[in-house]
Amino acid sequence: MSTRIYHNPHCSKCRETLALLNDAHVEAEIVEYLNTPPSREELVEILAMLDMRPRQLMRRHEEEYKANHLDDETLSDDALIDAMLRMPKLIERPIVVSNGKAVIGRPPVNVKSIL
């Protein structure tokens, strides 16, 4: 079983989710996604596992979202994915991928559903 967490060490929910994984004795690959964003293929795969459209995975309150007019409903999914790849801060966090499934750790206890 391979588990990966897309993590921001400055985010309390990320830290809580990582602690939950550690408490469950789950060895997870930690991806600090602000420094090492997922590839397009990984992001598309994560979206599919989450059964989400790109806008649903975006942090819409971030200044980058507003400044880049990403609230424009005419933008394609590809354009929104491109924006998340350019500005990974826009990607909701934490995301845990395990056993071919993914979940957003908000709240962190959500992660238990895929372990």
Overall domain count for the chain: 1
| Residue range(s) defining the domain that contains residue 110 | 3-114
pLDDT score, position 5: 98
pLDDT score, position 1: 59
pTM (predicted TM-score): 0.94
CATH number of the domain that residue 18 is part of: 3.40.30.10
Catalytic residue list: 11
> What does pLDDT average to in each consecutive run of 10 residues of the chain (115 residues)?
93 97 96 97 98 98 97 98 98 96 97 94
Read off the DSSP letter of residue 33. Answer: T
